[in-house]
Structure 1
Amino acid sequence: MRISDVIAEGVQGADPAEIPGKLCVAAVRLLPVADASVSLRSNGMPVHLSASSPRAEHLSELQATLGDGPCTSAAKAGAAVLATDLTSGRDADRWPVFAQQATVAGIRAVYAMPLGNDTVCVGTLDLYRDVPGELTRREVRTAELVAGVMTVALTALPRGQENGPEGDDLWLSGLAKAHDEVYQAVGMIMVQLGVDSDEALARLRADAFADSRTALEVAHDVVWHVKRFDPD
């Protein structure tokens, strides 16, 4: 079956909100990978959007919480990052904490493809493999094609479809609202600790990782006064 046929079959009849996840599943069908996820680029940290499996969702959220990993590196560079062996060598040394956590989850390689164009990166398509290894040139081109379709899907999604007749926001508004809590929490932590925004975000991420939670979960607790950061 042709690549275009697999993609078309995968998204046929899907609601707009389902398309990113369907494309992740199509990527797994088309490539020698076990899982896939998609994240949007945002100031401060990536926003997890969808995934083909709970494991991929976990790894996507992990990178957002750590602020480190192939996904964040690809988003910053606006170029593909192909981490072919997280068990040892350069890739393991480049993202040591993520690499360790990924291998615990059974992932040995990650291929992060940027979404966008030559001037703007709007996010990444992350492909996870359970054995080390490189993608062939043809497989890289296939990954780039899926990333291109994902980019078109994200930029062409209709507005307001999930918000009822009065909906004026992007269908991603729920994600945006959740992510706004991160910025609110960072502001509150800045006041509580007397630090700048970078240090406040770092403390938020460190606390989330230490408690095996996502940064979004900890941010929610800070905003709703369930958690407070006190000076050491």
Structure 2
Amino acid sequence: MRPRDEHGEQGPDPAAPADRVANGVRGAGVGEIPARLCGVAVELLPVTGASVSLHCDGMPVQLGASNAQAAYVTELQATLGDGPSQSAAQSGAPVLACDLTAGRDVQRWPVFAQQATAAGVRAVYSMPLGNDTVCVGTLDLYRDSPGDLDDRELRTARLMAGMMTVALMALPRVEDPGELGDDRWLHGLTTDHDQVYQATGMIMAQLGVATDEALARLRAHAFAHGCTALDVARDVVAHRLRFDSA
């Protein structure tokens, strides 16, 4: 029998999402698992795309996405440093932006809302990954039309986020860099993250500003030039871009 909530209503059957997750990741390599899980989320919920990111010091690192649109809008939030994903990571609670075309969601994230709708996304539901005390990342669900999640769908989204957390925490971490195997993708993510922070440090030195302002300058430059924060970081680290002469 399916569990009932405090109101006596039946919640989503945990076995159903669990079975879909098991089927979705069967035969997948380690590096494919995050994107596969995003695909399962799209199958289970009324959304058109999904992505998963780990968050560290305000800079999300995208692990996988169900499609190019979801990957783009997730990277857009990382570049802007704003959006439902950032808010969910900071609060540790779900953030439901049900209408990015009008109303309070546009007022809360005006630039992100404009950019997201231009990319065909009209609603975003960001679910925190972690536990009651620590948020390690977000599962971001995207929809091409405005609308809310009903109670059952929200419970399914929470359940999916919980399964995503367990799956990500179970992914192997390689301690010997000489034995990367299928875990090479994890080291690639670490490299990307390190480049952003190395670039931030270089901007701090060039401009004599604090960390927050340096990261904000990096993001602003990325947005103004239509590229990602990681693209700008790579240019700074490679000495193709200096902020004291930009």
Please report the TM-score for the alignment, with normalisation by the length of structure 2: 0.89
CA separation in 2, counterparts of 1:27 and 1:66? 25
Partner of 2:229: 215
SS at the partner of 1:135?
A: coil
The 1-side partners of 2:204 and 2:175 are apart by: 37
Corresponding residue for 1:127? 141
Question: Which deviates more from structure 2 when the two are superposed, residues 15-24 or residues 123-132?
Answer: 15-24
Q: Distance in 2 between matches of 1:137 and 1:12?
A: 29
For 1:228, the aligned partner's letter is R
Unaligned residue ranges in structure 1 (runs of 5+): none
Which residue identity does 1:10 align to in structure 2?
A: G
Aligned position for 1:41: 55
- The answer for the alignment partner of 1:92 in structure 2 is 106
Farther-moved stretch of structure 1 (38-47 vs 118-127) = 38-47
Identity of aligned residues (%): 66
Equivalent in the alignment of 1:29: 43
User: Is the alpha carbon distance of 1:170 and 1:43 closer, same or farther for their aligned partners in structure 2, counting shifts above 3 Å?
Assistant: farther
For residue 35 of structure 1, report the CA deviation from its aligned partner.
0.3
Change (3 A) 1:136 1:206: same
Aligned CA distance change for structure 1 residues 19 and 164 (closer, same or farther; 3 Å): farther
Post-superposition shift, 1:192? Answer: 1.2
Asked if 1:198 corresponds to 2:212, the answer is yes
Give the 3 Å change call, closer, same or farther, for CA 166–23 of structure 1 in structure 2: closer
Q: CA deviation at 1:178?
A: 1.2
Q: Does 2:32 correspond to 1:18?
A: yes
Count of aligned pairs between the two proteins: 231
CA 90–42 in structure 1, closer or farther in 2 if over 3 Å, else same: same
Alpha-carbon contact 2:62-2:74 (below 8 Å) kept? yes
- Post-superposition shift, 1:4? 2.4
Match of 1:159 among 173, 177, 196: 173
> Who is 1:74 aligned against?
88
CA contact (8 A) 1:159 1:170 kept: no
Aligned 8 A contact 1:160 1:171 in 2: no
Displacement after TM superposition at 1:159 (Å): 2.4
1: CA distance, partners of 2:63 / 2:24: 18
Q: Describe the shift of the 1:21–1:162 C-alpha distance in structure 2 as closer, same or farther (beyond 3 A).
A: farther
CA RMSD of superposed structures (Å) = 2.0
Q: Secondary structure at the match of 1:39?
A: strand
1:108 aligns to 2:148 (yes or no): no
Q: Is the 8 A contact 2:58 2:86 kept in 1?
A: no
Secondary structure class of the residue paired with 1:36 = strand
The superposition leaves residues 189-222 of structure 1 with CA deviations (integer Å, 9 ceiling, x where unpaired) of 1111121111111110000011111101100110
* Residue equivalent to 1:187: 201
Deviation of the 1:158 alpha carbon: 1.5
What residue is the counterpart of 2:19 in the other structure?
Answer: 5
Q: For 1:9 and 1:86, how far apart are their aligned partners in 2? A: 33
Q: Which runs of 5+ in 2 are unaligned?
A: 1-14
Q: 1:77-107 CA deviation, whole Å, 9 max, x = no partner?
A: 0000001000011101101111001101111
Letter in 1 for 2:85: C
Residue deviations 1:35-67 (CA, integer Å, cap 9, x gap): 000110111311111100011010111000100
Instruction: Tell me by how many angstroms 1:187 deviates.
Output: 1.1
